[in-house]
Amino acid sequence: MASKALIHEEELCCSVCFDIFKEPVVLKCSHSFCRTCLQQCWEGKSSRECPICRRKSSMSDPPVSLVLKNIVEAYLKKKSDSEPMKKSADEEKTETHCKLHAEKLVLFCEDDQKLLCVVCQTSKNHKNHQVCPVEEAALDLKEELKTALSPMKEKLERFTKVQQECEKTAEHIRSQALHTERQVKAEFEKLHQFLRDEEVARLAALREEEEQKSRKMKEKITNITRQVSTLSDKITAIEEAMHAEYISFLKVGA
């Protein structure tokens, strides 16, 4: 009995063309698409974004998702192998009967590794050869394959574990990079805020200094203006006295 599929076909379909992935690529938001479908979505647009979550993408050529590609290829191969091939009655008979004698192939020559009918067994080509029924030969071959399959399964398990570790490491690298990016942005935001606060404080101190100096200068100008006015009045009075008659001048001077 065929084993139950762990992955449904719709899980391996591109959300743009709704067909099974062809050369799947993955964006930083973890969404995957066919490379051609994604390029068509981005064609003619000024900005690149995920067709699903609309997150901006800085990559013009996203990397191929090797894991998804391998899963798709394995799924398609399994699907192809599980589909029974339709054969005609003549084709089936050709496979199960001897081409020379038209008799059913019921024996297997271990020396020549060939299927035989009862007539082939008596021919000189297979004289003194080790011959057994096809059922026994098939069981022996299956046992050999089973023995060879065990180390292959162990190797596949090791590769799968290594793949999982690599994926975990890659995810950790992405997570660490995002965390570091957030830290850098936060530190620079603090620095920018400090500079903005420093700018405000220095401008306020500059305005305060300007107001104090301007106030002192206004007071000085007012004082000088008062003294200039007093001197001008005295000069005017002296000049007027100098133009008076002698007697009047002397009276003013006395």
Q: Where are the beta strands (DSSP E) in the chain?
A: 24-26, 32-34, 107-109, 114-116, 131-133
When the pLDDT of each residue in the chain is averaged and rounded to a whole number, the result is 84
Cβ pair 13, 51 in contact under 8 A: no
Q: What is the mean pLDDT of residues 53-67?
A: 85
**156 pLDDT band (50/70/90 cuts)?**
confident
Residue 109 has pLDDT above 80, yes or no: yes
Higher pLDDT, 251 or 131: 131
**Residue 37 domain-assigned (yes or no):** yes
Tell me the pairing of strands 114-116 and 24-26.
Answer: unpaired
**Residue 200 domain-assigned (yes or no):** no
- 74-101 residue pLDDT tens: 888 888 777 655 455 555 556 778 888 7
> Which structural domain range is residue 35 located in?
8-83
**Residue 70 domain-assigned (yes or no):** yes
Q: What is the mean pLDDT of residues 30-34?
A: 90
How many domains, the chain? 1
Which pLDDT score, from 0 to 100, does residue 179 have? 94
**Residue 41 domain-assigned (yes or no):** yes
**230 pLDDT band (50/70/90 cuts)?**
very high
Which pLDDT score, from 0 to 100, does residue 111 have? 85
CA-based nearest residue to 176, from 165, 184, 187 = 184
Higher pLDDT, 243 or 4: 243
**Residue 29 domain-assigned (yes or no):** yes
**Residue 100 domain-assigned (yes or no):** no
Q: pTM higher than 0.75, yes or no? A: no
Q: What is the mean pLDDT of residues 12-20?
A: 88
Q: Where are the beta strands (DSSP E) in 35-176?
A: 107-109, 114-116, 131-133
**Residue 178 domain-assigned (yes or no):** no
CATH at 50: 3.30.40.10
**Residue 213 domain-assigned (yes or no):** no
Q: What is the mean pLDDT of residues 165-190?
A: 94
Which pLDDT score, from 0 to 100, does residue 98 have? 84
